[in-house]
């Protein structure tokens, strides 16, 4: 049985050495030829000797991303034990966290969750679930590298908004994608890897086609998708459960953004923005959308029964 496996795998290895890595990593330095010792260990996953199989499982992760493509071939074979061991090796490559290995290993595990063999798919899903925190942190880093903005919950945010213990510090609060997004459609896979987060903002000028966004919406059914007509932002929420009538009642004021810097406080009632009446929060969002980040506008508000006028320099959704 092993000789037949070896014959099939030899051809797969030859092909995989020419195509190592997923399309997302095609720009990286070409991977060196797979050492013969690694080839032998891959073949040993099918050995009749348990000790030989076990040694191969323990030694293969040391070879990093080079072994990922041939191990994917192993998961397509008839031996469930060899497939499970291949998944364990890929998982260990991921855990070791070497710079060029994490991406291919993570992509391989995700690919295996869609394997035709349900036993293989389940085990790949379990491997991913075991490292959800690592996966999410890496996804956030990649989204940021590609020009996206990621806002995380802080203890101060949680204390102010009091969401009932449903979130913890460090979890993703929102993601914003605009004209600085360089990840294209392929980069959206990292957003899909972020666990439940409330809002994804699409800022005017983003380069994503409708079909890609529809696919993303299906992948994130619990996330609200909101559009903004410009990169300008004030940095407030409005108080939920309160119907604005001829103005906007300020809820949370985000640290370090335009509203806080200008002196706007929670509980202020905004009456005018840039000398235009504010009917409610949605109307305020639309007025902000007519401006650009860096613009200076006058905000008129009611505080403690007194009218105040504050100059505000608008922040940007795209600043990180």
pLDDT tens per residue across span 173-188: 999 999 999 999 999 9
For the segment 116-134, what is each residue's pLDDT rounded down to a tens digit?
A: 999 999 999 999 999 998 8
Q: What CA–CA distance (Å, rounded) separates 276 from 298?
A: 10
95-134 core/surface letters (b: 16 or more CB in 10 A; e: else): eeeeeebbbbbbbbbbebeebeeeebeebbbebbeebeee
CA angle, 141 then 147 then 152, to 5°: 50
82: nearest Cα among 111, 110, 50 = 50
114: which residues sit within 8 A by CB, 6+ positions away?
121
For the segment 32-86, what is each residue's pLDDT rounded down to a tens digit?
A: 588 999 999 999 999 999 999 999 999 999 999 999 999 999 999 999 999 999 9
**Residue 66 carries which DSSP code?**
G
């Amino acid at each position: 049985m092993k000789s037949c496996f070896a014959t099939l795998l030899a051809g797969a290895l030859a092909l995989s050495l020419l195509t190592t890595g997923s399309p997302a990593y095609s720009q990286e330095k070409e991977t060196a030829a797979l050492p013969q010792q690694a080839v032998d260990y891959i073949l040993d996953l099918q050995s009749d000797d348990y000790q030989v199989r076990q040694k191969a499982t323990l030694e293969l992760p040391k070879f990093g991303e080079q072994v990922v493509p041939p191990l994917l071939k192993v998961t397509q074979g008839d031996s469930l034990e060899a497939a499970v061991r291949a998944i364990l090796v890929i998982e260990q490559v991921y855990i070791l966290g070497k710079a060029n290995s994490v991406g291919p290993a993570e992509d391989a595990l995700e690919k295996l969750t869609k394997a035709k063999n349900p036993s293989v798919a389940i085990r790949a899903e379990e491997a991913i679930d075991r490292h959800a925190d690592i996966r999410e942190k890496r996804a956030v880093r990649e989204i940021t590298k590609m020009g996206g903005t990621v806002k995380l919950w802080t203890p101060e945010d949680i204390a102010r908004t009091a969401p009932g213990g449903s979130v913890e510090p460090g979890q993703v609060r929102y993601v914003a994608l605009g004209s600085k997004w360089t990840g294209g459609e392929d980069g959206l896979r990292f957003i899909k890897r972020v666990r439940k987060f409330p809002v994804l903002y699409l800022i005017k000028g983003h380069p994503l086609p409708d079909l890609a966004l529809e696919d993303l919406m299906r992948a994130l059914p619990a996330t609200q998708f909101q559009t903004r007509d410009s990169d300008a932002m004030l940095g407030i929420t409005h108080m939920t459960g309160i119907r604005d009538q001829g103005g906007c009642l300020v809820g949370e004021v985000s640290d370090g953004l335009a509203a806080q810097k200008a002196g706007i406080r929670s509980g202020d009632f905004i009456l005018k923005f840039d000398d235009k009446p504010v009917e409610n929060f949605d109307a305020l969002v639309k007025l902000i959308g007519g401006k650009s980040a860096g613009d200076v506008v006058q905000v008129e508000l009611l505080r403690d029964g007194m009218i105040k006028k504050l100059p505000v320099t608008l922040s940007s959704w795209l600043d990180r």
